[in-house]
Structures are given as C-alpha cells and as structure tokens.
Amino acid sequence: MPVKVFALSTCPYCRMARQYMDENAVSYDVVEVDKLDGQERADAIDEVKKLSGGTSFPVIVVDGEVIVGFNKVRIKELLSL
C-alpha cells in the first residue's frame, strides 16, 4: 500500500508520525518540504494545499486517503496495524 508523507524537518509531529511508522515497519516515501528549493518546493506546497486544504504538517497519504497531522488512530486504521 503506497504511503507518502509531506513533512517539515523541524516539525515535532512530523517526527512522531515518521517514528510511529518506522516502529511498525511501514514503508513510506517522505518529502521534507522545507529542504526543497525553487519550483520543486512550490510544487510540493501546492500538492499539500490540494490534499489538505492548507499548509499544516504532516500530511500523510495512505492509498489515496489523506491524514492531516499526527493522528495515530487513523494511521493505525488505514495501515491495519
């Protein structure tokens, strides 16, 4: 099941979400938006806005379902952990 995380390198909730998935052996791709430059950064921010309606982080996409913030219960449900 494809999992993608849009995060900020300085965001504590982003770190908690990634740690939770690491602890549960979830494979995921991460985009650290604040480490991108130029058009790549603008494109990532646009995608985050389209997915979540804003610019809160983390934004986690699990098989097309979007989770905004570190919602452990919802992550667990979607990943069947």
At 73, is the pLDDT very low, low, confident or very high (cuts 50, 70, 90)? very high
Which residue shows structure tokens 């995060």? 7
What is the distance between the alpha carbons of residues 26 and 30, in angstroms, rounded to a whole number?
12
How far apart are the C-alpha atoms of 53 and 80, rounded to whole Å?
26
Domain covering 3-79 in this structure, CATH number:
3.40.30.10
| pLDDT, tens digit (0-9, with 9 covering 90-100), for 48-57 | 999 999 999 9
Which helix (H) or strand (E) segment is 62 a member of?
strand 59-62
8 token code pair? 């900020």
Q: What is the pLDDT of residue 81?
A: 79
pLDDT tens-digit series, residues 60-71:
999 899 999 999
- Alpha carbon separation from 30 to 4, 5 (Å, rounded): 6, 5
Q: Where are the domains of the chain?
A: 3-79
Task: Report pTM.
Answer: 0.93
